[in-house]
Structure 1
Amino acid sequence: MIIKKLSKKIASHPILNEVQLTIPKGVICGIVGRNGSGKTTLFRTIVGHYQSDAGEVLIEGKNICIDPIMKEKIFYVDTQFHPLDFMTPIIIGEYYNLLYHSFDLESYQQMIQKYQLPNRRFQQYSKGMQGLLLVILAYCSNCDYLILDEPLDGLDVIIRKEATDLLLDAVSEGTRSIILSSHNLAELEKLVDQVAFLKNGRISHTVHLENEKQLTKKVQFVFRQKAIPEIIKQRGTILSVQGRVVCVVFKEYTAELAEQVATLNPVLIEELPLSLEDLFIEEFSHQDYENEMRDTNDEK
């Protein structure tokens, strides 16, 4: 799937601004951003629930608005519109069997029994059971691209593991891809191959998570003085400060930079494991943190 310069305004307010993104086959791509950044709007615009103001979505080189049959290759349920609320799992399965030619009704029915989902209305399900049913639907759709908005939100440990196993199995053969969002970055990190950061209506950049962890470094310092050295503030993003202990993310922690930091004679220099949450903070809250530190210093 290739998303090219996709733009969308709502009530004359720009939400998406020339979004560019490529989703290869066989990957799980996480879309992350601050609250209100437009993740759900992006999903709705990709599948055509919202008409885009500009740009296009291509599958196998075909614009899905011009060639609507290509939309059958995308699975997406917009739960905010409650489309399934009054349906039971049996009716939901029959409905999706009509909607998607590739839908595997037999496997769907077997999974409903396997995971012991009761035959009552969707709206009567717990949030976790709703999430699991949506993942089962996505899996059994056999669509090439599964778009899931907060699929793991509110799931308990057992259901989350079952849903996660299904998602990983869906891409195991390399012919399908998953695009998903989640505010639970720790859970998202366990799933995704690549992460796209949605910022100011654009995809600011896309990273392969394992590669990024090799390039970006998280380092903890203990300095003799309370003041944070200027080179640390200029070259890194400060994650936390506790007394003289400073935790910093560096996009490029070069040998030259390491030598410069060593001349400051810190009491401790320790590299720590880098998480998706660290990358999120580095991407989105750099300016906010600087303002906070400036306000704190002013108070002192």
Structure 2
Amino acid sequence: MIIKGLNKKIDSNQVLSNIQLTVPKGVICGIVGRNGSGKTTLFRTIMGHYQKDSGEVLIERNDIALYERYKEKIFYIDTQFHPLDYLTPVSIGDYFQLLYPSFDIPMYHDLLRTHNLPPRRFQKYSKGMQGLLLVILSCCSNCDYLILDEPLDGLDVIVRKQATDLLLDVVNDGDRSIIISSHNLAELEKLADQVSFFKDGTITQTLHLEDQKAVTKKWQFVFRQKAVPDLIKQQGTILSIQGRVVVVVFKKYTNELANQLLSLDPVLMEELPVSLEDLFIEVFSDRTIAKEEITNEK
């Protein structure tokens, strides 16, 4: 999937601005951003639920707005409008078999039994059961691209593992891809191959996590003086300060910077593992932000 120059205004507000994104086959692409940044609007615009102002969404080089059959290669449910509330799992399966020609009904029924999902209306399910059923539907759709908006939100540890295992199975053959938004950065980090950062109505950058972690470093320092050295403030993003203990992320860590940091003569200089949460703070902070400000709530 290739998204080129996607733009959308709502009530004179530029919600999407020149969105550029490439999602290769066999990849899980995370979309992360602050609350209300427009991620759901992006998904709705991709699917044509909102009419785009300009831009293209291409599958196999075909604009899905012009060739509707290519839209059938994308799975997406806009749960905000509660389309499934009064349906039972069996009815939901029948409904999706009509929507998606390749929907795998035997696999769907098998997964319902495997995960002990009861035959009652969707609205009577717990939030976790609803989330698991939506993941099962996406996997059984056999669509090339699954767009999932906060699928892990509200799931307990057991159900979340069941859902993530299903999603990982989807991409194992290398033919299908997942675009997933989440505020649960720790879980997203386990899933995603690449992460796109959504800020001010656009995708500011897309990072391949393993490559980015190779050049980004996170250090814990203890300095003799309480004041944080200017070099730290200028070159890094401060994650936390507790007394004389400072934790900092450096997005582009070089040998020259390493020597400059050593010249500060810290009492302690200890390297820590870099997480997706650290990268999120580096992108969305104004250079200094406390970790506690990043939450997993929607």
Are 2:229 and 1:245 equivalent residues in the alignment?
A: no
Question: Does residue 186 of structure 1 match 2:191?
Answer: no
Give the partner amino acid of 1:262. Answer: L
Alpha-carbon separation, structure 1, partners of 2:54 and 2:245: 48
- 8 Å contact 2:236–2:287 — kept in the other structure? no
The residue aligned with 2:4 is 4
Query: What does 1:160-179 correspond to in 2, within 5 Å?
Result: 160-179=160-179
**Aligned residues with identical type, % of pairs:** 70
C-alpha distance in structure 1 between counterparts of 2:266 and 2:98, whole Å: 66
Which one-letter code corresponds to 1:62 in the other structure? Answer: N
Is 1:62–2:62 an aligned residue pair? yes
Partner Cα separation in structure 2 for residue 252 and residue 162 of structure 1: 36
Aligned to 2:280: 280
Aligned equivalents of 1:68 and 1:156: distance in 2?
Answer: 37
CA distance in 2, matches of 1:34, 1:18: 18
Unmatched tracts of structure 1, length 5 or more: 291-300
Partner of 1:43: 43
- Cα deviation for residue 261 of structure 1 reads 1.3
TM-score (normalised: structure 2): 0.96
Range with bigger deviation, 112-121 or 190-199: 112-121
Give how far 1:232 is off. Answer: 0.8
Q: Distance in 1 between matches of 2:183 and 2:208?
A: 19
Distance in 1 (alpha carbons) for counterparts of 2:223 and 2:288: 23
Counterpart check, 1:77 vs 2:77: yes
The separation in 2 between residues aligned to 1:258 and 1:104, in whole angstroms, is 54
Name the SS of the counterpart of 2:118 in structure 1. Answer: coil
Q: Aligned equivalents of 1:37 and 1:262: distance in 2? A: 39
Residue 135 of structure 2 aligns with which residue? 135
In structure 1, distance between residues paired with 2:122 and 2:59: 31
Cα distance in structure 2, aligned partners of 1:261 and 1:89: 59
d(CA) in 1 for partners of 2:287, 2:264: 25
Secondary structure of 2:43's counterpart equals: helix
Gaps of 5+ in 2: 291-298
Q: Deviations over 1:29-88 (max 9, x none)?
A: 000000011010011111111111111100000000000110000000010010111111
Aligned-residue CA RMSD (Å): 1.0
Letter in 2 for 1:130: Q
Shift of 1:262: 1.1
- 1:106 matched to 2:81? The reply is no
SS of 1:286's equivalent?
Answer: coil
- Following superposition, the deviation at residue 113 of structure 1 comes to 1.2
Q: Give me the whole-angstrom Cα distance separating, in 1, the residues matched to 2:161 and 2:57.
A: 32
Is 1:93 aligned to residue 96 of structure 2?
no
For residues 35 and 148 of structure 2, the distance between their equivalents in structure 1, rounded to whole angstroms, comes to 17
Deviation, structure 1 residue 287? 4.8
CA distance in 2: counterparts of 1:6 and 1:153, whole angstroms? 27
Residue 288 of structure 1, CA deviation: 6.3
1:289, CA displacement in angstroms? 3.5
Counterpart contact for 2:57–2:63, Cα < 8 Å? yes
Aligned residues: 290
**SS in structure 2 opposite 1:8?**
strand
